[in-house]
Each structure stands twice: as C-alpha cells, then as structure tokens.
Amino acid sequence: MLSPAAYIYRVACNAAMDRLRAERPWLLAGDTQDTLEHVADHSPGPELIAEARSDLKAVERAMQGLPNRHQDILVALRVHELTRHEVAVRHGLSLRRVDTTLRQALLRLPVGRCAVA
C-alpha cells in the first residue's frame, strides 16, 4: 500500500456509494415531488440560529471577563484539544492547578455549569 490515506479515502467513498445505492428512495416512489416532501430538513431554522447566536455572544462576554490565564487554559483544552499535561507544561503549572483553573473558568461561563466534566 503506497498511500494509507488514499486507501482510507477510497474505502470511505466506496462505503458511502454502497449506502447511497442501498437507500434509493427516489426509485421506490412514483412521483419525485411526493418523495421530497417526506425527506426531513435537518438544517436549523431561524429561531434555532438566533438562539445559538445569542448563546455565543453570552459566552464571548463571559470569556472577556475571565483572567487571561483562565482564557488561555480553557481555549487550549476545549478548542485546541491539548492534553492537561501539555497545558501544564506550556504554562508552567501543576496538573491540579490546570484542573482548578479550568473548573473556575467553566463555572463563570453560561454553559459552564453543565460542561464542568
């Protein structure tokens, strides 16, 4: 195998094509319009989009109120998905201090009470 990534890509494409062929709802229905009416639209509606934007603004405001170290540790762990050890080394902190700082940051965010774990 010359390129493992290319192999994985081909396998994924083939699996997707097999699934599409197996799920041909448009061949089972006589009228395409009837078939399209039964397909659910999973895209968010205006209300959900507005709510998500409002939540995001609330999180941004709360993030601005955090000390810089808290912001840096939260972003490193939750956005950049660094390990606790990597963050501890980067900031010269103990793992316990990283955990404490993360917990303090999450508790100050509007969604922090649900995302402490």
Which residue range forms the structural domain that includes residue 67? 47-108
pLDDT at 52: 86
Q: Tell me: the pLDDT tens digits for 43-86?
A: 888 888 888 888 888 888 888 889 999 999 999 998 899 999 99
> Are 28 and 54 contained in the same domain?
no
Q: Are residues 9 and 52 in the same domain?
A: no
**SS3 (DSSP) at 35:** helix
Whole-model pTM: value is 0.55
The tally of domains found in the chain comes to 2
Q: What are phi and psi of 8, to 5 degrees?
A: -60, -40
Average pLDDT over residues 99-104: 94
What is the per-residue pLDDT for 24? 67
Answer whether residue 38 is part of any domain. no
